[in-house]
């Protein structure tokens, strides 16, 4: 059985609680966050290789051309992306790599790395999501509407994901356990162990 | 999300410990064994509907014709099989149904009930399997050889199964936990929740 880690993409609309759930996974030794590359300048206190890999615009585009970006996006004139070489380094070490990215990026990853495990985290319903966003009281009505509108483009892609995990109120611990079960199961999937029969008789 | 139970097929060669592992699952309220139908006469102490459903040869063949056998086999002149109606009754109740059957039966189930979850339980290796069978000291050399020969036809079908779970010495508890994780993950599979997006906005 392969000891290679799994590349896990976790997407979810605003209010799905993906940050909290992923933070619970990262507490465990076998999970690490992917460090993205970006062309934007480091902000005070940010550390290269921890918050981001800070690279130049030319370097980023060179890496896109070389196929070294598992996914990337451009936002406010800057590139953000996941370097493939970095991801492979982590996976080879046997750790599971978590990519907290949006739907478009997830679709790019799926194409370039078909072994990736795609998980969509959802609030129990759109109604609950709306309540959560308004309940925060930190965003303008316009921003809330924008996020809710964006949700439609995200949730419609749920069938492209391998798993859908619902985050009920106060149950982010249960969500993290759901993801742990998914990872444990995936590591036992026969599709990930194509030499099972050969190895069985060889050992 | 559907509350329907899962139909779980567990196969494994002699010495894989599937009886012990399944017994651990059955201890839990959400798992039940499938009761097979048979044309053989009840033995002293056996109870109809508990050990088997005892039916006549004609009745069994009528049910085959009607498509009510998820799988069946003939052994020493008697039929043994899994009645579909009985399986569906259990699954509708929300419980997971465990079928401890051989590879041929598993392939029949997969064809007739594509939602079935196929798990192959294996000893860590052929060598360990052989040691386990000889270590029992309860079977003739001829019988042991026969079982080992049979194993080749079974393990070669591993890629047709969804998951391969290895039962290391003294780790049947871990195996049961592996299967629990598989079931938990499968219940979150987007393929089993095709109306996720519709339901998300409807609720």
Structural domain includes residue A58:
no
d(CA A164, CA A113): 20
Distance (Å) from the C-alpha of residue B199 to the closest C-alpha of chain A? Answer: 8
Tokens of residue A193, six digits: 């162990």
Entry pTM: 0.93
**How close, in Å, is residue B126 to chain A by CA atoms?**
5
Alpha helices, DSSP H, located in A93-192 = 103-112, 126-136, 141-155, 172-186
Q: Considering the domain boundaries, does residue B200 fall inside one? A: no
Q: How far is CA B109 from CA B51, B74, B83, B105, B115, in A?
A: 21, 16, 11, 6, 9
Q: For position A1, what pLDDT does the model report?
A: 45
Tell me what pLDDT residue B203 has. Answer: 76
Is A177 within a domain?
yes
Residues 6+ apart with CB under 8 A from A4: A91, A92, A94
The position carrying tokens 């619902």 is: A166
Position A127 in a domain = yes
Is residue A158 a contact partner of residue A164, using CB atoms and an 8 Å limit? yes
Give me the phi and psi of A53, to 5 degrees please: -95, 120
Q: What is the pLDDT of residue B184?
A: 97
Q: Does A203 touch chain B (CB under 8 A)?
A: yes
- Smallest CA-to-CA distance from B120 within B150, B145, B100, B90 is with B100
Instruction: Give the domain CATH number at A163.
Output: 3.40.50.300
- pLDDT band of residue B1 (cuts 50, 70, 90) is very low
Cβ–Cβ gap A163/B188 under 8 Å: yes
Tell me how far the alpha carbon of residue B68 is from its chain's centroid. 17
Mean pLDDT over each residue of chain B, to the nearest integer: 94
What pLDDT is recorded for position A3?
77
Better pLDDT: B189 or B136: B189
Q: Are B6 and B97 in contact (CB under 8 A)?
A: yes
Tokens of B184: 């938990």
Q: Mutation test of the interface with chain B: which of A15, A119, A197, A202, choosing the one with the most B Cβ atoms within 10 A? A: A197
Q: Are A2 and A192 in contact (CB under 8 A)?
A: yes
**Residue A101 included in any domain:** yes
* Mean local confidence (pLDDT), B2-23: 92
* ipTM for the predicted complex: 0.93
For chain A, the domain total comes to: 1
Is there a domain that residue B120 lies in?
Answer: yes
From CA A4, how far away is CA A31, in angstroms rounded? 12
What DSSP letter does each residue of A72-84 carry, written as one string?
EEEETTEEEEEEH
B159 and A196: CB-CB below 8 Å? yes
Q: Which residue is closest to B154 within chain A, CA to CA?
A: A197
Residue A64 lies in a domain: no
- Coil, strand, or helix at residue A48? strand
pLDDT tens across B115-157, in order?
Answer: 999 999 999 999 999 999 999 888 899 999 999 999 999 999 9
Three-state SS at B195: coil
Asked if B190's CB is within 8 angstroms of A164's CB, the reply is yes
Full residue range of the structural domain in which residue A138 is found: 7-34+95-202
CB contact, 8 Å: A75 with chain B?
no
Q: Would you call A161 an interface residue with chain B, using a CB distance cutoff of 8 Å? A: yes
Q: Among residues of chain B, what percentage have pLDDT more than 90?
A: 95
DSSP state, residue B141: H
Backbone angles phi, psi at A72, to 5 degrees: -155, 160
Per-residue pLDDT of chain A (203 residues; tens, 9 = 90+): 457 899 999 999 999 999 999 999 999 999 999 999 999 999 999 999 999 999 999 999 999 999 999 999 999 999 999 999 999 999 999 999 999 999 999 999 999 999 999 999 999 999 999 999 999 888 899 999 999 999 999 999 999 999 999 999 999 999 999 999 999 999 999 999 999 999 999 97
């Amino acid at each position: 059985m392969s000891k290679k880690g799994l590349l896990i993409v976790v997407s979810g609309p605003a209010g799905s609680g993906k940050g909290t759930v992923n933070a619970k996974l990262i507490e465990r030794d076998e999970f690490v966050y992917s460090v993205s590359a970006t062309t934007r300048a480091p902000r005070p206190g940010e550390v290269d290789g921890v918050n981001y890999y800070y690279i130049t615009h030319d370097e980023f585009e060179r890496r896109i051309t070389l196929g070294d970006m598992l996914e990337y996006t451009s936002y406010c004139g800057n590139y953000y992306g996941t370097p493939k070489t970095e991801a492979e380094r982590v996976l080879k070490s046997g750790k599971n790599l978590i990519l907290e990215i949006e739907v478009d990026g997830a679709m790019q990853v799926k194409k370039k790395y078909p072994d990736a495990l795609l998980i969509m985290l959802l609030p129990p319903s759109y109604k609950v999501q709306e309540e959560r966003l308004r309940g925060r009281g930190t965003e303008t009505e316009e921003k809330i509407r924008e996020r809710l509108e964006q949700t439609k483009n995200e949730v419609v892609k749920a069938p492209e994901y391998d798993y859908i995990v619902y985050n009920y109120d106060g149950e982010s611990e249960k969500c993290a356990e759901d993801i742990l079960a998914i990872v444990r199961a995936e590591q036992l999937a026969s599709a990930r162990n194509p030499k099972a029969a050969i190895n069985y008789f060889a050992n």
